[in-house]
Amino acid sequence: MLKKFVILITILISNQISFVFNFLEENTHRITYLEGRVGEYVIFNCHIDFPQDLEMPYSLFWYKDGKEIFSWYDGVFNSAGSYIGRIILVENYKGFPKLGKASINLTSIRETDSGWYQCKAYFPNRTPSTVNNGSWFHLAVDGNTLLKIPPINQTVMEGDPAMFRCIVKNPDTMYVEWFKDNRPLIEYTDLSYRSSMDRDGSILIGNTVMSDLGEYQCKVRSKNKAKVIYAPKEVYFPYGRPGILDCHFRSNPPLTNLRWEKDGFLFDPYNVQGVFYKKNGSLFYNRVSDEHGGRYTCTPYNALGTQGSSPIIHVIVQRPPVFKIKPKQIYITKLGEEVELHCEARDATNENLLQPVEWIRKDGHPLPKGRFELNEGNLTIRNIKESDRGIYSCITRNKAASICKFNELILN
């Protein structure tokens, strides 16, 4: 089932953005001078002059420097070119009760929006079709900003990509950082994996999901020395399994070197068996052992240098939990009966310490409400129904790893 949701985009720059209305009466024509800044919005207040003050059917057109950019007739809206998705008809807009019927709100202002605008109404059932309609506006856009084109709100279908433009004026000296709900995008593992950013700062989110819903921000930064932007206090490695230690850094110009230290000494994977550098400078441990635990720091470098090392990252090696009692591969039961699926997990270093156990169905369906019970890891299902057949999984985990065991419930 397709679902529709909205991703809100905002833009942060150093100064607050405002707009000013100035009005000038000139004979019978009214010219309104407006000012705005890149990334914000401005309202064009246009009243319709109905013949003899009698309201009648009309069509509405907006022009910019003589070219049509927006039209409305009988509830149908049309925008043109770069104005698509940025113009809204705002009759009786909240906070502006005196707006005319032809008023519009232009959002996500760009520098190219500067110029002359005309609002014009036509009356198809009257001859002539126009009267004293044709209000003029001049918009001056303040270019004192780092952005050339700001992002605009997006509405997409779940599964479709979402593209947000955040184009800086000079990509050679500036770069863009993206945030979601005031958190760096990099902290959202799945979202950052599905996202890619162009050199100009625009971002593409592929295969959108409902969890992508939220408010996004693009921040413009100046290029600088390489810098660590995030370092967890603790990282748990699963003993006997692969492990990865990441260094989250920002570097523009590109990274030239990444130095790791362990317990205060240089840590060079080329001299440590079973440890390798990944392309992004992360450390990959082929098979974790106790000797890999310790206090790590990473220091990124680019052509301009470095802003320093990361805070200490404590790597803790922990044994994954173990199953003391494993569920059978197949359980056979009948409709209306009761079945118990056995599972018990213990701490690997203290077999007297029980580990919490979770049961799920492989197909994603929930356990039968009101008909199941969990007792020290065992799953009991009462009054078996046809919908209960399928594959079940017993899962237990600690901070380092999770393990699971699958079994199938068959109805005889």
CATH code (residue 360): 2.60.40.10
| Assigned domain for 70 exists | yes
| Assigned domain for 15 exists | no
Beta bridge partners of 331: 409
The pLDDT of 148-170, averaged and rounded, is 83
| 345 plus 357 within the same structural domain | yes
| 311 plus 372 within the same structural domain | no
| Assigned domain for 236 exists | yes
| Assigned domain for 22 exists | no
| 374 plus 405 within the same structural domain | yes
Cβ contact 137:44 at 8 Å: yes
| 314 plus 325 within the same structural domain | no
| 233 plus 299 within the same structural domain | yes
| Assigned domain for 284 exists | yes
Inform me whether the pLDDT recorded for 331 exceeds 70. Answer: yes
Tell me the three state secondary structure of residue 192: helix
Chain segment 263-301, per-residue pLDDT in tens: 999 999 988 999 999 988 899 999 999 999 999 999 999
| 47 plus 107 within the same structural domain | yes
Write down the residue that tokens 């592929």 correspond to: 206
| 191 plus 274 within the same structural domain | no
Domain that holds residue 114: 31-142
Give the pLDDT of residue 93: 54
d(CA 38, CA 310): 36
403 Cβ contact list (under 8 Å, min separation 6): 320, 321, 322, 323, 345, 395, 396, 397
Give the pLDDT of residue 232: 92
Tokens of 88: 């809204």
Inform me whether the pLDDT recorded for 26 exceeds 50. Answer: no
Q: pLDDT grade, residue 198 (50/70/90)? A: confident
Amino acid at 16: Q
Q: What share of the chain is helix, strand, coil (3-state, %, to 5)?
A: 5, 50, 45
Domain total in the chain: 4
| Assigned domain for 14 exists | no
Amino acid at 26: E
d(CA 112, CA 38): 10
| Assigned domain for 12 exists | no
| 174 plus 246 within the same structural domain | no
| 133 plus 37 within the same structural domain | yes
Provide the terminal-to-terminal Cα distance of the chain, rounded to the nearest Å: 34
| 239 plus 205 within the same structural domain | no
- Between residues 148 and 296, which one has the greater pLDDT? 296
**Buried/exposed 33-51: b ≥16 CB within 10 Å, e otherwise:** ebbbbbbbbbbbbbbbebe
Q: pLDDT grade, residue 144 (50/70/90)? A: low
| Assigned domain for 3 exists | no
Q: Which of 285, 301, 318 is the last residue of a domain?
A: 318
Give the pLDDT of residue 143: 63
For residue 88, give the H/E element and its range: strand 87-89
Q: Which of 299, 318, 337 is the last residue of a domain?
A: 318
49 Cβ contact list (under 8 Å, min separation 6): 121, 131, 132, 133
Chain segment 91-141, per-residue pLDDT in tens: 655 556 678 888 999 998 988 898 889 998 888 877 665 555 568 888 888
Instruction: Write down the pTM of the prediction.
Output: 0.47
| 52 plus 114 within the same structural domain | yes
| 304 plus 342 within the same structural domain | no
Q: Which of 115, 142, 169 is the last residue of a domain?
A: 142
The pLDDT of 36-40, averaged and rounded, is 85
